[in-house]
Structure 1
Amino acid sequence: MIYKAYFLFNLASGKTVEEYEKWSIEVNHPAAGRVESIQEFHDYKTVATLDGSMPAYQIIEEILISDVEKYKKDITAPEMAGFSEEWGSWVSDWICILTERVA
């Protein structure tokens, strides 16, 4: 079964969306490309809700995962420790929502 994970988060104090975009292209995307269980990875900056207000989160990461248990092992592997710490310096107030397709 294919799953999608959505990481919704705000940026850490002092970080800008423009800085995050650059970091994501240079560091985040290449790191995701090395994770065997990730089939696709996309970042989105939020711009508004349908009523025009600002969303609760600044960034959404959409990750297509081939195997959830393998993904959990992949992202907690020792070789990912440095990346995980760096990602943690960019984000605050985050949540991960794991989904599977219904229809």
Structure 2
Amino acid sequence: MTRIIVLLNLKPGKSAADYEKWALTTDLPTVNALDSVDSFTVFQATGVLGGSTSPYQYIEVIDVADMDLFGTETGTDAMGRVAAEFQEWADPIFIVTRKVEAAA
């Protein structure tokens, strides 16, 4: 499994309420419906432990079961439209990760 962590701040003039509505009605259902995705969740950052302000407003976590299939699925016209809409909301940073585990 590959986990993709997306860090983002909304572009100037974009409201949190409108972004969250779009995420709940468009982004989350579309991405979670992909066969390659085990889970997709959006979090609003509410602060940093210790009390300071988070450098990012939102964090998205996508657990991908099959990166090859994910590449194919995200290349469709439907996903292209969702990605284009997402780019209107933010200029995100996508971090691809792997879990650190002991060797077998």
Aligned residues: 101
- Residue identity matched to 1:88: Q
User: What TM-score results when the alignment is normalised by the length of structure 1?
Assistant: 0.88
2 CA distance for matches of 1:63 and 1:13?
25
Gaps of 5+ in 2: none
- Residue identity matched to 2:43: Y
1:40 aligns with 2:39: yes
> 1:96 matched to which residue of 2?
94
1:62 aligns with 2:29: no
The superposition leaves residues 31-53 of structure 1 with CA deviations (integer Å, 9 ceiling, x where unpaired) of 11332211101000001111311
1 CA distance for matches of 2:33 and 2:14?
25
Please state which structure has a larger fraction of its residues in strand: 1
Q: Does the CA-based 8 Å contact 1:17-1:45 persist in structure 2?
A: no
Q: Does the CA-based 8 Å contact 1:6-1:63 persist in structure 2?
A: yes
Gaps of 5+ in 1: none
RMSD of Structure 2 on Structure 1 (CA) = 1.3
Identity %: 28
